[in-house]
Amino acid sequence: MEIFLSFLKSSVTIMIPVFFASLGGLFPALCGTLNIALEGLLLISAFSSLTVFFFTGNAVLAVISAIIAALALSLIHSFAAFKLRANLFISGLAINLFSSGLCIILSDRIFKTKGVVAAENVQSLLILYIFIGIFLLLISWVVIYKTPFGYRLRACDKNQDALVSLGLRPKVYQVTAILISAFFCGIGGSFLSLNLGAYVPEMSAGKGWIALAVIFLGARRPVGVLAGAFVFALAESFSNYAQGFWSIPAGFILAIPYVCTLLALVIMSIVPKK
């Protein structure tokens, strides 16, 4: 039982940043775009939250700073993509690369190191983030399916001409969706560093990319996103435990969560849609 509870806790811990990133990324996906910058947003949020907590010891300020950092990068991303008409995907990739380099530079300037930055007196926030996640999941479901904003957001993907005929601008909803995804990534990124009590270079570790897959694994639905994130987390947690009792190369074991995600996506594409 103790092993099972440890395994479950590990899975939930892994799931939380992926869940927040994928739930946020769901909004752009529903309006016909994809926020490729999720990986970079998680990373800059993780660094910002740990930095603010390091100097203030205040977890609330740390989370707020993470959200602000993610929103700032997303405004740059949106300006480049929708105002300057840059390719949306290339702009997102640029944000990912920029975020990685920016964290290294700021870490060197602020902490005089390009390695791990640890903070003291960081308490476990797992339960709090679980409740926040459940609350935001419910809010997201209501917004997407029960509000005019949600109807119009989905119309951006299905029928933009209908929005234009009502005097509405689809780009406004697309930009808003990207900013919403930044808000969620800010929360998810803050969990990465605050839960660990440290910032580790490249600690997002592909979770933003996995979040994109989870969006479609969850059939672009809030509850489906939760299930998809949990499936990935179970697989990754299993791979972590498997390294201790399987005598096969670690690279194969570490690939388990990504293979499972890929297989799940293939199965989802085969299953007939209702």
Q: Which residues contact 119 (CB under 8 A, 6 or more apart)?
A: 50, 53, 54, 197, 198
**Which pLDDT belongs to residue 274?**
52
**Which pLDDT belongs to residue 236?**
81
Residue 25: how many CB atoms within 10 A of its CB? Answer: 30
Q: Quick one: average pLDDT of 2-10?
A: 78
- Collapsed DSSP state (helix, strand, coil) of residue 212: helix
Would you list the domain boundaries of the chain? 16-204
117 φ, ψ to 5°?
-120, 120
Neighbour-count burial of 33, counting CB atoms closer than 10 A to its CB (0-12 exposed, 13-18 middle, 19+ buried): buried
**Which pLDDT belongs to residue 194?**
93
Whether residue 47 contacts residue 107, with contact meaning beta carbons closer than 8 Å, is answered with yes
Confidence of residue 95 (pLDDT cuts 50, 70, 90): very high
DSSP calls for 142-158? HHHHHSHHHHHHHHHHH
Whether residue 261 contacts residue 210, with contact meaning beta carbons closer than 8 Å, is answered with yes
Chain mean pLDDT for the chain: 87
> Is the dihedral angle over the CA atoms 175, 179, 184, 189 positive or is it negative?
positive
Tens digits of residue pLDDT in 27-74: 999 988 889 999 999 999 999 999 999 999 899 999 999 999 999 999
Residue 116 amino acid letter: V
**Which pLDDT belongs to residue 169?**
85
Write out the E strands in the chain: 117-118, 198-199
Tens digits of residue pLDDT in 207-253: 999 999 899 888 889 999 998 898 888 888 877 767 666 666 666 66
Tens digits of residue pLDDT in 151-185: 889 888 777 777 777 778 888 999 999 999 999 99
Confidence of residue 268 (pLDDT cuts 50, 70, 90): low
Tens digits of residue pLDDT in 183-195: 999 999 999 999 9
**Length reported for the chain:** 274
**Which pLDDT belongs to residue 245?**
67
